Amino acid sequence: MPQQEKLQQKAKEILLEKKADVVIGYGKVETGNIGAVFITDPERTGELVWNNLCTTNLSVYLKRKEIKKLGKPCIIVKGCDAKALAVLEIENQIDRSAMTVIGVECFGVQDRCEPQYKCASCNVQLPPHCDFVIERDTKQSAPQGSRYEKLEMLDNMDSKERFEYWKQELSRCIKCYACRQNCPMCYCDVCVVDKNRPIRIDTSATLKGNFAWNILRAFHLAGRCVGCGACSAACPAGIDLDLLNLTLAKASEENFGYIAGVQRNVEPLVGTFSPDDKEEFIR
Amino acid sequence: MSQIISRKTIEQLIGKLQSEGGHAAAPVAAGKRYFFRPLQKAEQLVLDGKIMPVNSVKEFFFPPHEVICRYQYEGKELQITDAEPFEKEQIIFGARPCDAASLPILDKIFAWDYQDRFYQQRRENTTVVTLACQQPDNSCFCTSVGLSPDTTSGADAELLELGNDLYEVRCYTEKGKKLFEGLTEESVKTGKTAAPPEIRFDMERVSKYLSEHFDDSIYSTTSLRCVGCGACTYICPTCHCFDIVDEGGAAKGCRVKNWDTCQFAMFTLHASGHNPRGEQAVRQRNRVQHKFAIYPSKFGAVLCTGCGNCTRECSASLGIRPVLELIDKKAES
């Protein structure tokens, strides 16, 4: 049976058994593109779509109060999205016992007609940490790329060139916060950039304000970003925000052996204290 | 007979403008996408009627960030200095006709209850040269809001591609004529514009329905997949909300005008914590009502040019067009 059909059937079953009130999945929306759909009627699960255009990370909807109102969720995830759920779980943002997770086996998705960067080094074709996994009948070999390959471009620059690169890129930022809104990890009730008594981060879309915002966001994602690429895909200014997050992900891996989202039962990297920490200032 | 110009002559024109201290802006490539940006060099200019730059040229009249005044304490004396409006000459090349069409719409806003000298000065100093639309895409809906690919509203002059880096020039205003004076040659060739995209909804019906159904229930479903970023409004040629913020310290700083959007959760948040637009559904209603009912009731036209930017760039495949189509269906039934 085609994978999409199996997915539809499973979703229907879950709604019928009342394990969930709403299925957060992908569907063909009015624009003709693939977008998020929220299905509450078991008879409408045939609208669920699964193909390589299902790029967005649906776990971002778990934080939206409008979606929470729809009741107990059943969410459809790819491997990369499942990693995001693992981080949300260890940060106490979701209650896994109050939701159902359907993973779909994935061999890569497209972003603007091109394979998304993360897919070239993906090692989670079969999503981890799921209640159900919908496999594909025909398999493909796992990609062999390196997760940090893209960073070589930055590594080959000296600090002055790197600064020029970021100046050029961030000059296009318009502070629309599509990066934040599309990031499953950006779940703060009030984002630091929205705090205005006093203002902590310039709200201005100037080079100073844009550096402050984008670097701050990258730091807040250190040891938490799973590399789903939703920020880069959403950025209307075409800034490759992945590069900032990957830099910190690489630092987390190299210095602490920590890769966000791989395990469900670990403490968060930032936010835990260990007497073995090598830094003196913390003692 | 038509008037034609070569790309080389346009580049020379830009070079001359820049050497005299003027600014030129046009679509330029960044990665695999195009953006209206100030030109560093004339060669960067991309004149291709098939491309859809992400942003709108509105930012050359109403920038994302603008200093209004500066303040400074000297002892106990407060000194306030008004910021000078932008005085340089500016030429925009290659604006999409649907993008330029927003300018007469914005003119009404910035000269309504308050004369915004910053915007007005930029309008006076700027010449807008559009490039004829060659290929509407899936997101386009200019014909649904009463415009078409050959609209000339807001354009001082228009370029139409003839191939081989040649363009037909059509001048619509004195500014446009002055810009190209002595630079064009006569020719028998004439440029073409794309065929109009299909009409997606009945604008009159939508506007009427909206003005009679403020508190419609439709938004609670149409807004569900919106993630609440401001991309649609910031790249919209007609959205014009701004916030006034003080930046700097108590002793010295400036008061600035920054873009704002009705799509943020912070929009209309009261100091008490109450927010009359506390959910995405009512924020979406705000945007739709403003564009298709409130602005028309004040100024007699819709606050939308059908450029499709919002739908094209929406990370959730939403934007305003699908919402209008659904409202039209509801109004029809």
Start-end of H helices in chain B: 7-19, 97-100, 102-109, 117-125, 174-180, 203-212, 219-222, 231-234, 280-289, 295-299, 309-313, 321-332
* A174/B234 Cβ within 8 A: yes
Residue A30 in domain: yes
Residue A45 in domain: yes
Chain B residues lying within 8 Å of A65, measured CB to CB: 279
What's the pLDDT score for residue B87?
85
Which of A14, A101, A31, A108 lies closest to A62, judged by CA? A101
**By the CB < 8 Å criterion, does B313 face chain A?**
yes
Q: Distances in Å between the alpha carbon of A127 and those of A83, A107, A181, B229? A: 8, 11, 23, 28
What's the pLDDT score for residue A113?
82
What's the pLDDT score for residue A105?
97
Residues A78 and A109 in one domain: yes
Share of chain B above pLDDT 70, in %: 100
Residue A279 in domain: no
How large is the ipTM? 0.94
pLDDT tens-digit series, residues A216-260: 999 999 999 999 999 999 999 999 999 999 999 999 999 989 999
Chain A residues lying within 8 Å of B33, measured CB to CB: 238
Q: Which domain holds residue B326?
A: 2-332
Count how many domains chain A has: 2
**Would you call B88 helix, strand, or coil by DSSP?**
coil
Instruction: Closest CB to A67: pick one of B224, B230, B317.
Output: B224
What's the pLDDT score for residue A283?
65
Instruction: Closest CB to A202: pick one of B247, B279, B317.
Output: B247
Residue A275 in domain: no
Residues A115 and A162 in one domain: no
pLDDT tens-digit series, residues A119-170: 999 999 999 999 999 999 998 988 988 999 999 999 999 999 999 999 999 9
Residues A62 and A173 in one domain: no
Residues A202 and A239 in one domain: yes
Mean pLDDT of chain A: 94
Residues A12 and A113 in one domain: yes
CA distance A229 to A241: 8
Residues A90 and A155 in one domain: no
Does residue A282 carry a pLDDT above 70? no
Residues A164 and A96 in one domain: no
CB contact at 8 A, B92 and B57? yes
Which of A214, A223, A168 lies closest to A193, judged by CA? A214
Q: Which domain holds residue A162?
A: 149-256
* A31/B139 Cβ within 8 A: yes
Residues A9 and A101 in one domain: yes
Does residue A104 carry a pLDDT above 80? yes
CB contact at 8 A, A250 and A150? no
Q: What is the mean pLDDT of residues A13-34?
A: 97
pLDDT tens-digit series, residues A179-198: 999 999 999 999 999 988 88
Does residue A279 carry a pLDDT above 80? no
A277: pLDDT confidence band, cut at 50, 70 and 90?
confident
Which of A212, A207, A199 lies closest to B248, judged by CA? A199
Select the more confidently predicted residue: B86 or A14.
A14
Which of A229, A234, A240, A219 lies closest to A168, judged by CA? A240
Does residue B138 carry a pLDDT above 90? yes
The last residue of one of the domains, among A134, A169, A190, is: A134
Residue A85 in domain: yes
Q: What is the mean pLDDT of residues B187-204?
A: 95
The alpha carbon of residue B323 is apart from the nearest alpha carbon of chain A, in Å, by 9
Residues A88 and A165 in one domain: no
Does residue B133 carry a pLDDT above 70? yes
What's the pLDDT score for residue A142?
86
In the chain, the amino acid numbered B260 is D
Residues A81 and A119 in one domain: yes
Q: Looking at chain B, which residue has its C-alpha nearest residue A36? A: B225
Select the more confidently predicted residue: A114 or A4.
A4
Residues A100 and A10 in one domain: yes
The alpha carbon of residue B324 is apart from the nearest alpha carbon of chain A, in Å, by 11
Instruction: Closest CB to B325: pick one of A30, A35, A37.
Output: A30
Q: Looking at chain A, which residue has its C-alpha nearest residue B141? A: A31
Count how many domains chain B has: 1
Instruction: Closest CB to A204: pick one of B258, B261, B281.
Output: B258
* B227/A236 Cβ within 8 A: no
Residue A265 in domain: no
**Would you call A25 helix, strand, or coil by DSSP?**
strand
CB contact at 8 A, B126 and B98? no
Q: Looking at chain A, which residue has its C-alpha nearest residue B220? A: A66
Instruction: Closest CB to A236: pick one of B54, B64, B224.
Output: B54
The alpha carbon of residue B82 is apart from the nearest alpha carbon of chain A, in Å, by 19
What's the pLDDT score for residue A237?
96
